Structure 1
Amino acid sequence: MNYAIETVDLTKHFFVRGHSEKKVIVANDHINLKVQKGEIYGIIGPNGAGKTTLINLVSGMLKPTYGTVYVLGYDIREVKYRINNICLASFSGVQKSFTGGIGRVPVVKALKYMAGMYGVEGNLEEKAKEALRLVDLDKWMNNWPVQFSSGMLRRLELALLIMLDKPVLCLDEPTIYLDPLHAKEFRDLLRNLAKGNNYTILLTTQYMDEVKYTCDKVAFLKDGRIVFTGTPEDMKKVIPSQKVFEFIVSKHDTESLQDKIMRLDKVLRVRSRVEGERIHIIVEVSGEIDEKGVEEVFSSIVDILARMVKIYNIRIREPDLNEAFIALAGVKK
């Protein structure tokens, strides 16, 4: 099968000079990925796992130490950064393409100028208008970029990638700094582009909603190595049969609440966050006990909380992607 993206033992070392000797940092360690055409493939993992390094290797921004990347059959070792001229376009969610003077001209003109800088040929005005239509910005084509919200600017940057007319897009944290509404709009846009216009999208993200609603498959990186690949639904199965209890309680010292609950047998993790005058407590319980055991643990937790706080709400559910992320990252508490 011809994959849109295939990495073969892809490895990247960085060398940092210390006081007496060089230190080797292994950012990516023998990464093997296969991304099919038309897929949205997410790269996830904790901070420092090597996600941005991986996407920079795929897009030709970094040279591998070992191994290689094939993008639509092109070997990155041979074409290097020219892969961006052939079949791939990329951007970071924190980049600002439409700043300075280019931000104070009508959007359609700004797009034409930027696309021309990247070597796009043909009827640039028609291409710009079509790209704006695809990202749902055509109603604002005569507005200036400096008048746009952060969500609209993110879509405008995606319109530029569309004008570059490359079938493979690499997006590094595309929804970072976006509020939930604009992030959802951007995710919907990516789905439409991948399914309706035959793009393959490789993206990095820290947001599990993005994984759940956008990605066909994901790879989880930890310490530069892949520890999981599969669908988002498969990812939740890394915690078989585990139960999750959620409680909304009155405000109290969260550390003492968590400590008392953690002393119970079969409690794996306790997390909490303060929400105004209330606390949201999440308790993960081992899947190695039967239903009777689950009920006993649940009753014990309720007894502890009832003695210390007022309980407003209780919910029992299966693990979600956030719990799966924590389990794969190896976080115990």
Structure 2
Amino acid sequence: MIQIKNLKKIYQTKKQKVQAVDDVSLTINQGEIFGVIGYSGAGKSTFIRLINRLEEPTSGSIEIHEKEITKMSANELRLKRQKIGMIFQHFNLLWSRTVYDNIAFPLEIAGVAKSEIKEKVMELIHLVGLSGKENNYPSQLSGGQKQRVGIARALANDPEVLLCDEATSALDPETTDDILDLLVSINQKLNLTIILITHEMHVIQKICHRVAVMENGKVVEEGDVLDVFVRPQSKTTKRFVQQLNPLEHQQDKLAEFINDRDDSEVIKLHFIGKNTKRALISEIAKKFDVEVNILQGSISPTQEGSYGTLFIELNGANDVLTKTIEYMKQAGVEVEVLKHA
């Protein structure tokens, strides 16, 4: 478990003080993938560099497995950093070294025997899907392959935590998905805690269990990814969620599809988890004397399950519409009436 309490980082410039991280407190559980998302300048990059003290905090505390990082001496910190892996946006590989030698580098620094290094490096090369590339140099690799080397290198000393600093921002969408799939596989195989910062909501949606949203150095929202996606609270979170499903947040555009009738209701439905597979529209069409006009909808997967949004128009007698809406609520679907009959 990682416990972060009242973490602050203030930079002093000639003209002013800049508070990059402002009183952040988080608990990150063992074995979870925890995402931190924010726009440029939100403080997320500074935050992740504070965790392994690449940046020194101004105040606050960071505990990893009940060991307080912020109180460690330089020598204690050097040893502890071997158990905190980190991967970077621009790979940070040694260009004069082969894939094998890049991965072996942290083991050499740690004083591991050559025979053990070879076994470990080949194991990691296989784990990240680079078998046959061990003698290649970074200049001979694609962006995705370079990041796989970075991941293998970060895993060399069997870390307790893996920090990912915008690890997919320099990659194309297809390669991004491949790297995210690899991180999920590593998380599951090694029960490795992963802290991932990004400005892409797709990344959070695809692999994270929980997420914190940062703005101006503060955490403005935190929770399970599924809850945050379905019920975003802060303006910043709503903007990120809108990136994935723009139409859901442009309800005024539904007007052109809606019948100008007095006996209609426009409903927004949220399906969560197993309910995304339920044939609810078919059920109500058979059970109630209503006409159903599907306006738009989508289903999105997350690590914690799928969620779906569906906009429908119901036409029928008022009492029947009331009963239909109540039936949908009892079915475990979140119902929001946007236009009353």
Normalised to the residue count of structure 1, the TM-score between the two structures is: 0.69
What is the alpha-carbon distance in structure 1 between the residues aligned to residue 89 and residue 253 of structure 2?
Answer: 43
Q: Does 1:124 align with 2:117?
A: yes
What is the alpha-carbon distance in structure 1 between the residues aligned to residue 77 and residue 256 of structure 2?
Answer: 56
Identity percentage over the alignment?
Answer: 26
The C-alpha deviation readout for 1:263-301, integer Å capped at 9, x for no partner, is xxxxx9xx99xxxxxxx9847246xxxxxx99647559x
What is the alpha-carbon distance in structure 2 between the residues aligned to residue 91 and residue 45 of structure 1?
Answer: 18
Cα distance 1:61–1:316, how it changes in 2: closer, same or farther (>3 A)? Answer: same
Count of equivalent residues: 254
Cα distance 1:227–1:319, how it changes in 2: closer, same or farther (>3 A)? Answer: farther
The aligned residue for residue 206 of structure 1 is: 199
Q: Does 1:11 align with 2:8?
A: yes
The C-alpha deviation readout for 1:190-221, integer Å capped at 9, x for no partner, is 10111111211111011222111111111000
The C-alpha deviation readout for 1:101-149, integer Å capped at 9, x for no partner, is 22xx4x224432x234532513111110011111011232233332110
What is the alpha-carbon distance in structure 2 between the residues aligned to residue 281 and residue 31 of structure 1?
Answer: 30
Cα distance 1:93–1:295, how it changes in 2: closer, same or farther (>3 A)? Answer: closer
Contact kept? 2:41, 2:216, Cα under 8 Å = yes
Cα distance 1:150–1:120, how it changes in 2: closer, same or farther (>3 A)? Answer: farther
What is the alpha-carbon distance in structure 2 between the residues aligned to residue 236 and residue 40 of structure 1?
Answer: 16
What is the alpha-carbon distance in structure 2 between the residues aligned to residue 159 and residue 141 of structure 1?
Answer: 12
The one-letter code matched in structure 1 to 2:68 is: D
What is the alpha-carbon distance in structure 2 between the residues aligned to residue 315 and residue 190 of structure 1?
Answer: 37
What is the alpha-carbon distance in structure 2 between the residues aligned to residue 119 and residue 46 of structure 1?
Answer: 36
What is the alpha-carbon distance in structure 2 between the residues aligned to residue 166 and residue 38 of structure 1?
Answer: 12
- CA shift for structure 1 position 98: 2.8
The one-letter code matched in structure 2 to 1:111 is: I
The one-letter code matched in structure 2 to 1:70 is: E
- CA shift for structure 1 position 317: 3.0
- CA shift for structure 1 position 24: 1.5
Given candidates 283, 296, 313, the residue that maps to 1:316 is: 296
**Could you list the runs of 5+ residues in structure 2 that have no partner in the other structure?**
234-238, 260-293, 302-341
Q: Secondary structure at the match of 1:30?
A: strand
**Could you list the runs of 5+ residues in structure 1 that have no partner in the other structure?**
241-267, 273-279, 287-292, 301-313, 322-333
Normalised to the residue count of structure 2, the TM-score between the two structures is: 0.67
The C-alpha deviation readout for 1:209-245, integer Å capped at 9, x for no partner, is 21111111110001111111112211123359xxxxx
Q: Does 1:89 align with 2:85?
A: yes
The aligned residue for residue 33 of structure 1 is: 26
Contact kept? 1:60, 1:84, Cα under 8 Å = no
RMSD: 2.9
Cα distance 1:30–1:121, how it changes in 2: closer, same or farther (>3 A)? Answer: same
Cα distance 1:216–1:281, how it changes in 2: closer, same or farther (>3 A)? Answer: closer
Q: Does 1:70 align with 2:68?
A: no
